Amino acid sequence: MITLIVATIAAFLLLAYFGAPVLWWTIAVGALLSYLSLIAGFGAVTKTTLAILFLGVAAVLNIPALRRAVFTDRVLAVYRRILPDMSQTEKEAIDAGTVWWDADLFSGRPDWDKLLAVRAPRLSAEEQAFLDGPVEELCAMCNDWEIAHELQDLPPHVWQFIKDKGFLGMIIPKQYGGLGFSALAHSAVVMKLSTRSSAAAISVMVPNSLGPAELLLHYGTDEQKDYYLPRLAKGLEIPCFALTNPEAGSDAASIPDYGVVCKGTWQGKEVLGMRVTWDKRYITLGPVATLLGLAFRLYDPERLLGDKEDLGITCALVPTNTPGVNIGRRHLPLHGVFQNGPNSGKDVFMPLDWIIGGRDYAGKGWMMLMGCLAAGRAISLPTSSVGGAKALTRFTGAYARVRSQFKTPIGKLEGVEEALGRIAAHTYMMDATRIMTAGAVDLGEKPAVLSAIAKYHMTERARTCVNDAMDIHGGKGICLGPNNWIGRGYEMTPIAITVEGANILTRTLIIFGQGAIRAHPYVLREMRAAKEMTGAEASREFDDALTSHIGHVIRNGTRALIYGLTHAAFAPVPRGASPEIAHYYRHVSRLSAAFAFLADVSMLAMGGALKRKEKISGRLGDVLSMMYLASATLKRYEDQRIKEDLPLVRWSVRDALYNAQQAIDMVLSNFPVKALATFLRWTIFPLGTPWRPPLDSRNRECAQIALTPGAARDRLTAGMYVPKGDDATGILEKAFVAAIACEPIDEKLRKAVKKGKIVAAPGADIGLLAMEKGLITAEEYSQWQRKEALRKQVIKVDDFPQDFGRSALLDAEQTRPLVRAA
């Protein structure tokens, strides 16, 4: 009997593990019942009753028409009643973009072979030349203090250079005079600029992200494209895109800005047009824009365009010199001096031709915006955050080696090392995510969920990195001035957190909310069958999706349990994977099965209420995100296979697994149905929670990479602008190299002082004393002197007159932009 029980459980577990079709289950149950009735010696009546029951259930399960009539059509009827109606804007947001690796992670069995087979994204020779030429030159031209403090804008020659070299037309194809760059190149340019000047990076980033050019490329009429794209590519037009209204920020679909279709006079002729009224704020490049991309809700009360009154959100291109357009005033976003400000208009008449895509696209603005955002969100903010993290790794590592306290470079003090190691490892994972996500866009994907993950986690990690870096810099990071290279970045970090979907909303509403519908293999099919289909078509589609869905839940639950019991020993590893990281694939596969199971049970238990339970859905989103970040990290390592980088991979993946585990733990602790929570915990963590935070020893290895000049540090910060001149960061680079070269000399001096051979009296030149006593050579003394001079420059902070020079500057040329803005 024990053998029979064990064999039965094993057989059922195997069927569930491999997701066997219902026929196999029927055969297995049939065989078991036959055997039981044989050995149990049932009478004829019992046998016949059992057989009839079995055949009845088997027929219902295996004959689709019968199954639909008895089971799925009833479920469909209930599902239709409880499934909340979706607004058109919600539907368009859900439908936007494509799914890619997120679908694998949602499936519970990611196909690692498929991921590793994706070619590592590469820049073309032309793109690399642009990075090494104009981008390098632009970085060298930018002096952040001058831009941010003295001019409060980019200097005119920098603006001109940006326009002349085509920076504003990176995404515009060559046929229209643009650079026609890949997403990877676009990202590499923004990243490099972000390591030098936030104002330059943002000014370049915005025309290349969601705005007139991108909307025209996807939806513009030929006439609109032929006229505007060449002008945008050459910087003859400065674009901005105005969606946000004081009343509608995150809930952008509710903008109260409106247009009314009417007849009017345009250039002396009567034409069909719209009278548009709007009030926008926070619009980047708005104050200097010549072309305003404007989103508003269009109404047609006189039915001049058709039979609908409320046509919906509409996007138009409005030249800013149009009479009635109020533009030009500035906001001051956390002292970031990129151009940003409000604009408005009241009853401004404009022809219908100004609608992007022409009158056929009246009312389709939200679909257009969501479609563009699905891919665009993958580039700008994730990329600028990676740029920030690379600069922080390089500069903070250097500073921690140059700055000493307690007679030790601070980077060697464990507390500082902990923060520095974190910065370095985050940077590796962030860059891996940037490259994988931009690579997906270049493959033709518009990865709506993955771009939201990249946006949220890259900007949040940048915030963690800058907080750590500020702590390591101490007062040096706090006192602003030309000698402070991180204070402005720290100040401006919340900007990236807020724009293109503020982070709280992105985490708690979008990542899992959209993922659960889009990336889940069956949920969207079930919803479409229920809401968009009728009759036999709905019945067949719903039946197929639902039965597959049930099999999917059983399979993932079983896999989660078996992986949990075996420490993921049987989970898949891709062919040709590097043995040193093979176990991580198994762990992420285990996590994927657990997540898929948990997600389904959560949806079942909470239904539509899950959308409002943002704490739960935020944590489910965290698990999905951690799997994506870990996948990107593993892929990056496989594409490069450089063993020196292993500590960064190990720290990051372990951290991701641990964070995912914490998120699952919190979901289970707060799960509304306690019995289900207990069942889920036994299934997902049958032997307790398996993942631990990264080890201190690993953290030390990561910090060492940031503290040591060489290939690993250069690789970690690859693509950033490495200053070569004599500005603050240029001096820092030199001081860093000099500090390391002088370490043996410092050691000799330390020993000499300790043994009393020289006396380190206040103000004494111990190098000179050591040289005079023959403890170091003259050459060593000169090397040490140079290092000391550089070190003193590095630790220097700026000071200003009592009134910060305001009275002296009032009449001076530099204050004009400030006065104008005020």
* Binding residues vs ligand FAD (CB under 6 A): 240-244, 249-250, 282-284, 333, 340, 495, 498-499, 502, 504-505, 508-509, 614
Is residue 327 within 8 Å of 339, Cβ to Cβ?
A: no
When the beta carbons of 339 and 729 are compared against ligand FAD, the nearer one is 339
Phi, psi (5° rounding) for residue 797?
Answer: -120, 165
Q: Give the shortest CB-591-to-ligand FAD separation in angstroms.
A: 25
Q: Give the shortest CB-438-to-ligand FAD separation in angstroms.
A: 21
Q: Provide the phi-psi class of 347: left if phi over 0, else alpha when psi is between -120 and 50, else beta.
A: left
Q: Give the shortest CB-334-to-ligand FAD separation in angstroms.
A: 8
Q: Which residues of 226-251 are buried (b: 16+ CB within 10 A; e: fewer)?
A: eebbbbbbbbebbbbbbbbbeebbee
Q: Is 500 a catalytic residue?
A: yes
Integer Cα distance of 600 and 592 in angstroms: 12
Integer Cα distance of 742 and 754 in angstroms: 18
Q: Give the shortest CB-820-to-ligand FAD separation in angstroms.
A: 19
Q: What is the 3-state secondary structure (H, E, C) of 445-488?
A: CCEHHHHHHHHHHHHHHHHHHHHHHHHHHCHHHHCCCCCCCCHH
Long-range contacts, 738-747 (Cβ 8 Å, 24+): 738/783, 738/786, 738/787, 738/790, 738/791, 739/401, 739/402, 739/409, 739/787, 739/790, 739/791, 740/401, 740/708, 740/709, 741/783, 741/787, 742/783, 742/784, 742/787, 745/776, 745/780, 745/783, 745/784, 746/784
Is residue 556 within 8 Å of 596, Cβ to Cβ?
A: yes
Is residue 219 within 8 Å of 356, Cβ to Cβ?
A: yes
When the beta carbons of 113 and 247 are compared against ligand FAD, the nearer one is 247
When the beta carbons of 243 and 752 are compared against ligand FAD, the nearer one is 243
Catalytic residue among 92, 237, 445, 500: 500
Q: Give the shortest CB-241-to-ligand FAD separation in angstroms.
A: 5
DSSP assigned state of 119: P
Q: Give the shortest CB-498-to-ligand FAD separation in angstroms.
A: 5
- CA-nearest of 447, 399, 451, 393 to 420 is 393
When the beta carbons of 171 and 684 are compared against ligand FAD, the nearer one is 171
Q: Give the shortest CB-251-to-ligand FAD separation in angstroms.
A: 6
Which residue lies nearest ligand FAD, judged by its C-beta? 249
When the beta carbons of 511 and 742 are compared against ligand FAD, the nearer one is 511
Integer Cα distance of 140 and 235 in angstroms: 21
When the beta carbons of 617 and 729 are compared against ligand FAD, the nearer one is 617
When the beta carbons of 249 and 693 are compared against ligand FAD, the nearer one is 249
Could you tell me how many residues make up the chain? Answer: 822
Integer Cα distance of 340 and 329 in angstroms: 8
Q: Give the shortest CB-313-to-ligand FAD separation in angstroms.
A: 12
When the beta carbons of 499 and 626 are compared against ligand FAD, the nearer one is 499
Q: How many CB atoms lie within 10 A of CB 302?
A: 11
Is residue 394 within 8 Å of 717, Cβ to Cβ?
A: yes
- Catalytic (active-site) positions: 500
